Structure 1
Amino acid sequence: MAVNPFYLGTFALYLLVVLAIGAWGYTRTSDVDDFWVYGRDLGPWLATWSYVANFVSAVAVVGFIGSIYDVGYAVMAGISFGLMLGISTLYFVVGRVRELNHVTLPDLIADLTGRQWSRPVSAVILLGNAWLYLIMQLVGASLLVTTITGVPYEYMVWVIGFVFIAYTVMGGLVSVAWTDLLQGTLMYAMCIVALAFLAFDLGGITSINTQFAAMDAANTAPLGRGVYTVIGILGSIVAFFGTVFTSQSNIIRINATRDIRTAKFHLAAAGVLLGIFEVILVLLGGATSVALENAGITLQNVDKAFPVLITQYLPTEVGVVIILATMSAILSTTDTRLHAAGVTTARDIYGYFAGDVADEKKLRVSRYATVFFGVAATAIAVNPPGTIISLYEFRAILLTSAFLIPVYLGLYWRGLDGRVIIASMVLGTSLGVGWRLLGGPLGVPPTFLGVGGAVLTLAAGHLLVGTDTASATRAE
């Protein structure tokens, strides 16, 4: 593939801008509190756009559109609905989370259980999730840029990896939040422009849906082309619902806000913006499928659907706009997950085993861990173990099975014995992930098995052990 200098130049300029913001963030980061939680001074609109940008990723703009190309609108029943339901419900517990005034999810779990050793246990699960998320973001970004610029994938993945590692290491959440503000605004506006162009070019939204159904009636059917079942969609809803509640980056952002009012506002505002954006992405997926069909283009790798649309269908001027939007979506999520991995390692693993150490040392460990996980994810992304959506579903099962029931039931029922909560986390993780690795035998969704196992462990453990009076006392 020949190198496209116009696309390559635009991409290079974009990377220089986000690096400049990262360098500026470095000057605003004076201590570990700044690096981890923005000095707990994240305002309402900066928090809102940072959350929107963090939420929309390679999964949405590359993987989600690719899945619609593959199986039709049925994707939105399991993924979009679960995610939006999760944000809506998180709003009602965000006050309780912010009130506890912790930094990370393992902090919260240690408070609920009264066992500090739960911090490294839960941190290992969270780091596995973060690593998977980093891999799929890098795959999406590199596939996109390789397709549009002609630069070989194995080189581009390292270039992108270096850039997002660099600006995240420099400024922590300060750099992440401000680059997210730029990227979130750009992403949102440019995706609207892309859909408007395709709608005009293909005869309008109604025409797009009519043509999409004409390609295959299953494209607009609730269950798609037999890929989904009712129970499968319900399992997917539970999985993606759970990821919103159990994401380390979400907990960090909630605790980085100025106060409870700001925490609630940013979730409510982001929920509205993301609900609209999900509709835009669904329609953009259908429009992409129709446009490629009309152009006589068939793809084996569905993750390439959107990148190929840019290079082989859209005018260069429009393609540049969409490139910037897509890269904004991808990098804004990647930096958030990388930042969370650094915080988790320094606070919940190193902090637990090292004991009372200086904040300067914790800040150094955060930065070292950020580099390590960034490089490790980049190396794996050179030869990824699956498609973007398959990786996303795997980490959704991991998070939801491990944390959804134990953490949030424990948040409101503080008499639960801490050992029972931890056992529920471990068993839920083992069952959910193990069932997924076995391929989900008997048609039972892995999430159902993981969450069900966690619930049964809590119930049985509570009957055997009884009430943790120390936990109940701490709740007071």
Structure 2
Amino acid sequence: MAEVNPFYLGVFVLYLLIILAIGAWGYVRTEDVDDFWVYGKKLGPWLATWSYVANFVSAVSVIGFVGAVYGGGYSILTGIILGLMLGVSGLYFVVHKVRELNHITFPDIIAELTGYEAARPIAGTVLFANAWVYLIMQLVGAGLLVTVVTGVPYEYMIWVIGGVFILYTVLGGLVSVAWTDLIQGTLMVAMVLLALVVMTFDLGGIATINQEFAAIEPSHVRPLGGGTYTVIGVLGSLVAFFGTIFTSQATVVRINATKDIRTAKLHLAAAGVILSVFYVALILLGGATTVALESAGLGVDNVDRAFPVLITEYVPTEVGVVIILAILSGILSTTDTRLHAVGVTAARDVYDYFADDPSDRQLLKVSRASTIFFGLAATAIAVDPPGTIIELYEWRAILLTSAFLVPVYVALYARGIPGKAVLLSIVSGTALGVGWDFLGGPVGIPATFMGVGAAIVTLGIGYALWKGEAEPTVAVGG
């Protein structure tokens, strides 16, 4: 057991208390289920922008991406980040179509496009799997960080972190989440930029860092790394991570929480600029972390521990506090978003489908109860996680993109697609994409290609079989 660092532990406890106070304030401001789910559809551009930025940047970004640079170099820019930024750019051009439908969740949209209410629990099941994996990733990242810097054992700290996440999300729903995201997003971007400045001065400048980074391993500065990615692998990754932007429940909920279409478009454009700058700074910080640890003889076996070790063993305490706040901000802001999405999905897309005309009060209770249940379940799994942060991140990207990207957005623009064809495409894309990934991507074909390919083929077959048939209509509440 590591020695407890009272200074870092005190900073961490103070941070959690501030977040809980905002959650309590959000509870007072949450009057009905619409407030809990979508902020009463009153999110303005400033709050929406920073909430989206904070939701976007997670344990994957701050710990996982720095660890990926430590292990494989700058190729993560090509393999993952380019796809994410293309996704944000692409979503800007279709966001008006999503906002015009004026629904709450992604399954709501699918139900209207297909004409089948059953689409809500079908899509909701996929979204549950995605959100649960994402929760596990965030908790693992938070637990690793706080354990290393405070000295408190991981198996204890993970439950403290999970409990705080659950509590303040349950209290105020999107009201709590949006306002904590505003604080955390601003803090996160500012602190990462400041940390990069400090490390740049310490190591002699960006050019020097890159030269020493390449000297450690020449492939670190190659676009595809040293075999980390192949061309077909990069293409598959671009599709996968592009698709996650279009198919995230949290993203759709935020779009539909904005007060109008103009705000929805503006917040995506502004967030895209902020995120682009942030990720460039973060990847450079990953290079600086690698150089600093190697020069100090502080190499690590688990790449997810590279950044926490930098904080505790290399940088001065006052700089370490700055970095801790940045990482905690990224992790907390994304975890509360996924917890909130789980509650919305459980109540809106599953319970509301099977229940007999539930009241708003019942739906609010189910949202809160499911947030607690799934949050505790994710925390329990995070005690002994099934893979590294990046491995989990890649899996959920395959899941979402294979399931939804093709059928939903084709149906959104070509409204004559039979609903049964869309549902068949969702099911087949999910099954083949996830199944192919489980088999390890045989014959070198990325799982995303197989999932998206299956979705395209079955959508075409379904269109040929059911074209011209009368479709049912559903009245999905807004």
Note whether the superposition's TM-score is higher than 0.5: yes
Check whether the contact 1:417–1:471 (CA below 8 A) recurs between aligned residues.
Answer: no
* Count of residues in Structure 1 that have an aligned counterpart in Structure 2: 474
Partner of 1:434: 435
How far apart are the structure 2 equivalents of 1:3 and 1:473? 57
Structure 1 residues 378 and 472: alpha-carbon distance in aligned structure 2, compared to 1, 3 A threshold: closer
**Distance in 2 of aligned mates of 1:134 and 1:51:** 17
> What's the secondary structure of 1:372's corresponding residue?
helix
Q: Aligned partners of 2:75, 2:436: CA distance in 1, in Å? A: 23
Pair 1:228-2:241 in alignment: no
Q: Give how far 1:75 is off.
A: 1.0
CA-atom RMSD in angstroms: 1.1
Partner residue, 1:401? 402
1:168 corresponds to which letter in structure 2? T
Deviations for 1:256-286, whole angstroms, at most 9, x for unmatched residues?
Answer: 0000000000000000100111101110111
Report deviation, 1:356.
1.1
The answer to whether structure 1 residue 248 and structure 2 residue 249 are counterparts is yes
Task: Verify the 8 A CA contact 2:63 2:304 in the aligned structure 1.
Answer: yes
Would you say the 8 A contact 2:68–2:76 is kept in 1?
A: yes
2:115, 2:473 within 8 Å by CA — same for their partners in 1? no
Shift in Å, 1:455: 0.4
Letter in 1 for 2:82: F
Matched, 1:16 2:17: yes
The match for 1:282 is 283
- Please say if residues 415 and 472 of structure 1, whose CA atoms lie closer than 8 Å, have aligned partners that are also in contact: no
- Opposite residue 306 of structure 1, the aligned amino acid is F
Q: Report what 1:180 is aligned to.
A: 181
Is 1:327 matched up with 2:298? no
Q: Distance in 2 between matches of 1:438 and 1:274?
A: 34
Q: Cα distance, 1:469 vs. partner?
A: 4.9
CA displacement, residues 103-159 of structure 1 (integer Å, 9 cap, x when unaligned): 000000000000001100000000000000000000000000000000000000000
User: What are the residue-to-residue correspondences of 1:56-75 with 2, within 5 Å?
Assistant: 56-75=57-76
Contact 1:120/1:352 (CA < 8 Å) preserved in 2?
A: yes
Distance 1:471 1:287, change over 3 A: farther
Counterpart residue number, 1:417: 418
Give the distance between the partners of 2:240 and 2:468, measured in 1 at CA.
29
For structure 2, the 5+ residue unaligned runs are: none
Q: Retained in 2: the 8 A contact 1:209–1:286?
A: yes
Deviation at 1:471, TM superposition (A): 7.3
SS of 2:169's equivalent in the other structure is helix
State how 1:193-204 maps to structure 2 within 5 Å.
193-204=194-205
CA distance in structure 1 between the aligned counterparts of 2:473 and 2:112, rounded to whole angstroms: 11
Q: How does 1:210-229 map to 2 (within 5 A)?
A: 210-229=211-230
Counterparts of 1:470 and 1:364 in 2: how far apart (Å)? Answer: 34
Moved more, 262-271 or 465-474: 465-474
Is the CA contact 2:58–2:333 (under 8 Å) kept in the aligned structure 1? yes
Alignment match, 1:383: 384
Given residue 241 of structure 1, which amino acid in structure 2 is its aligned partner? F
| Residue of structure 2 in register with 1:370 after alignment | 371
What is the CA distance between 1:470 and its match in structure 2? 3.8
In the alignment, what sits opposite 1:25? 26
- Establish whether residue 107 from structure 1 lines up as the match of residue 103 from structure 2: no
Cα drift, residue 355 of structure 1: 3.1
Which consecutive segments of 4 or more residues in structure 1 shift more than 3 A?
Answer: 467-474
Structure 1: any 5+ residue segments left out of the alignment?
A: none
Task: Tell me the distance in 2 between the aligned counterparts of 1:291 and 1:462.
Answer: 57
Find the counterpart in structure 1 of residue 193 from structure 2.
Answer: 192
Q: Is the 8 A contact 1:414 1:472 kept in 2?
A: no
Q: 1:339 aligned to 2:340? A: yes
For residues 451 and 472 of structure 1, the distance between their equivalents in structure 2, rounded to whole angstroms, comes to 27
**Identity score, percent:** 68
Give the letter for the 1:177 counterpart: A
Asked if 1 retains the 8 angstrom alpha-carbon contact of 2:117 and 2:474, the reply is no
Q: How far off its partner does 1:78 sit?
A: 1.5
- For residue 434 of structure 1, give the secondary structure of its aligned residue in structure 2: helix
**C-alpha distance in structure 2 between counterparts of 1:48 and 1:389, whole Å:** 25
Calculate the TM-score normalised by the size of structure 2: 0.98
> How far apart are residue 225 of structure 1 and its match?
1.8
